[in-house]
Amino acid sequence: MPEVPPVAGYLDRLSRRPGERFTAHVSLRDPAPCRVRVLRVVSGDPNPAGPGLDLRPVPGLEEIRFEGRHQPVPIGSCAMIRRGPRFGATEPRCWSALVWMRGEQAAATVLSAEGEGLALALRAGTAGAEAEVTLGTTTCRLAMGVALAPRCWHRLWLSLDPSTGRVLLGQSGAGAMETAEASLPVGPAPATDGVVVAARGLDAPRDHFTGKIEAPMAAAAFVAAWPEPLDVPAEAAAALRAAWDFSRGIGTDTVHDTGPDGLHGVLVNAPTQAVVGARWSGEESCWRHAPGDYAAIHFHADDLEDCRWASSFQFDVPEGMASGCYAFHIATDAGEDWLPFYVLPPRGQAGAAVVFLASTFTYQAYANHARGNADEAYRARVTAWGAYPHNPDQYGAYGTSTYNRHPDGSGIALSSRLRPVLTMRPGFLTFDDARGSGLRHYPADTHLLAWLEAQGIPFDVVTDEDLDDEGAALIAPYRVLLTGTHPEYHTGRMLDALTHYRDHGGRLVYLGGNGFYWRIARDPARPHLIEVRRAEGGIRAWDAEPGEYYHQLDGQLGGLWRRNRRPPQVLVGVGFSAQGLFEGTSFRCLPAARASEHAWIMEGVPEEFGDTGLSGGGAAGFELDRADIRLGTPANAVILARSGPPPASFVTVPEELLSHVATVTGEPPRDLQRGEIVYFAVPGGGAVFSVGSITFCGSLWDGRAFAGPVSRLLENVVRRFMAA
């Protein structure tokens, strides 16, 4: 089993309002008493050269105590059918499925059936099909020993005749058919209690298969030959007992049986659906138009939708508790953990003029990103700074991120928040940053929170999930909305809400880079899940298979919002243009910055600014956004400042390239490696200020305090927007 931290947990939801209840689910490596304090998160940066970790106890809240225990992680996806097909005690039977694998892997269970005195497992791996059948006290095993071709559909089947004791294992596909036989004692076979697809074990699934499975079935027939993998032999078709059709219910967790007894089941741990199946013709790329072409499910041994841990403690948000960013600090003698959460203001009310939109969908997309960079130097810095001690490179028990791959090399498209997310913790270091703190996402966004605190600017907090659930009404009461450093992942409902806010008098301040980039999907029935399909274009950690660009959760085309005709420039005036290592440079003012109508923005800011900071050492770094009227930047938008020449590590994003020398704008590729600070107003009194860089907020700290030109620039904007 993978190693786990001494203490880890997750919440039923990341945000609540006063009067609502959080439920926490916690597991300990070893049972022990636990103590819980509620802390307000002001700064999550452990760098001693920065503001430091600033986690403040909330007055008036009593410590929570509970008895912690170990709770296992039920990782791996499968289909669970709790009623088995009806067979006579001496009736022959055949179990079968189509399988597809990407690459090499050891054998794992494709289909299993269990009953009292009966256990059957049809398995597959690179070396070919295997089977194991137990009747009473006798077990026989078969191994084909003929390799299965990668990325090719094969039919596997296992036939059993209790009246003769004959057992046959078969596989066909890639132009060949092979069989192997064995014998069991003659005698009646017990009834089947249940069936598991892609694993074995009705009570605790194990031996999970990684690959695609289509059309699992059972028939009261002994099938000796199956020459055509996609066809069902006449003897099996005439005696069908169960046929599970994965083309039905795509996007749900229901498994439909088209056989005579309706042996329906459920999917466990959210495997990937809406994937091309054995009958995919290539004529349709959207599964909604040809579901029969998408009758497969891609199961993975590392899928994890929900840890399903028992409740450990609950917390009722007190009436009057201020909106903000908080964390439950869970401590035992063996270790500690922090579970971040957000308190919203009461529904329909605003406690301040400013609201911070926490990028929780982006945090979730990157949840447990295993980067492979937690080397000795990284660990030494974590220890020296007292940073968050646990890293997904070390603890992989809770699944990884949509920036990682499954064991067969396929991309991880689904991410759940119902599991410990080690990367979403105060003090978590993403990089061993030579020029700064190395923070991203949740802890990096606390640079902004700590700045607001230092400037005495009151603010409320809402999250991506709240905005997607409640729409424009959630943010309508606020004069100013601040994003975090990397608001990358959005649904269409979120973009609609932000556009409505901007166009109806709201002031939108985009404080990051590579924002509003990927389209994601959610399912109202499972709000803890998000889905991303990394379709054509974009800086991608993996690329979706052809024909698999449409989300399973909402049926819509995935990929970049730019490819969905909603480039970020349309909303905030700038969009992703360049990426490099986690390092930054400065900005330089352009003539528009000194024009009388914009002078208030740059008042007190020098011509060049942002050459230091806690994120890569500069305000213009890592990922840069630029204006482009062709992509939707408003004609009245002004470019106030532009980043200096980027470090040598920077590249132009692929969606801007037509070839290695030609770009969509006609500019040389190197010239597109720039970040731009943009301002524009919209009819109705709304306005947008965008900084065009993911490292901008790290430069709010000037080495001694939240002061200096970057801080002055943002304060000019926020206070003007608050007063307007």
Report pLDDT digits (tens) over 111-124.
999 998 889 999 99
Annotate 272-337 with DSSP letters as a single string: EEEE--TT--SS-S-TTT-GGGG-EEEE-TT--S---PPP-EEEEPPTTPPSEEEEEEEE-SS-EE
Reported as a single tens digit per residue, the pLDDT across 498-542 is: 999 999 999 999 999 999 999 999 999 999 999 999 998 899 999
C-alpha span between 576 and 517 (Å, rounded)? 8
* Environment class of 38 (CB within 10 Å of its CB; exposed 0-12, middle 13-18, buried 19+): buried
User: Average pLDDT over the chain, rounded to whole?
Assistant: 97
Is residue 572 within 8 Å of residue 690, measured between CB atoms? yes
Q: Can you give the residue ranges of every domain in the chain?
A: 78-299, 324-723
Q: Give me the CATH topology for the region 78-299.
A: Jelly Rolls (2.60.120)
pLDDT at position 724 over 80: no
Of 696, 46, 27, the closest CA to residue 312 belongs to 27
Q: Cα-flanking dihedrals φ and ψ of residue 594, to 5°?
A: -100, 0
H or E element at residue 108: strand 108-115
Q: Cα-flanking dihedrals φ and ψ of residue 472, to 5°?
A: -60, -30
Average pLDDT on 268-278 reads 98
Q: How confident is the model at residue 18 (pLDDT cuts 50, 70, 90)?
A: very high
Average pLDDT on 369-392 reads 97
- 324-723 architecture in CATH? 3-Layer(aba) Sandwich (3.40)
Reported as a single tens digit per residue, the pLDDT across 462-491 is: 999 999 999 999 999 999 999 999 999 999
H or E element at residue 577: strand 574-585
Q: Strand ranges (DSSP E) for 464-548?
A: 480-482, 489-490, 507-510, 518-519, 521-523, 526-531
Q: How confident is the model at residue 458 (pLDDT cuts 50, 70, 90)?
A: very high
C-alpha span between 371 and 530 (Å, rounded)? 21
pLDDT at position 382 over 80: yes
| Block residue for tokens 């079968």 | 96
Is residue 357 within 8 Å of residue 475, measured between CB atoms? yes
pLDDT at residue 136, rounded to an integer: 87
Of 360, 457, 492, the closest CA to residue 720 belongs to 457
pLDDT at position 721 over 70: yes
Q: Distances from the Cα of 454 to the Cαs of 14, 356, 426, 448, in angstroms? A: 25, 15, 18, 10
Q: Distances from the Cα of 463 to the Cαs of 17, 356, 433, 483, in angstroms? A: 12, 8, 28, 10
pLDDT at position 2 over 90: no
3-state secondary structure of 568: helix
Is residue 279 within 8 Å of residue 188, measured between CB atoms? no
Percent of the chain at pLDDT > 90 equals 96
pLDDT at position 1 over 80: no
Half-sphere exposure at residue 533, Cβ-oriented, CA atoms within 13 angstroms? 27
Higher pLDDT, 136 or 614: 614
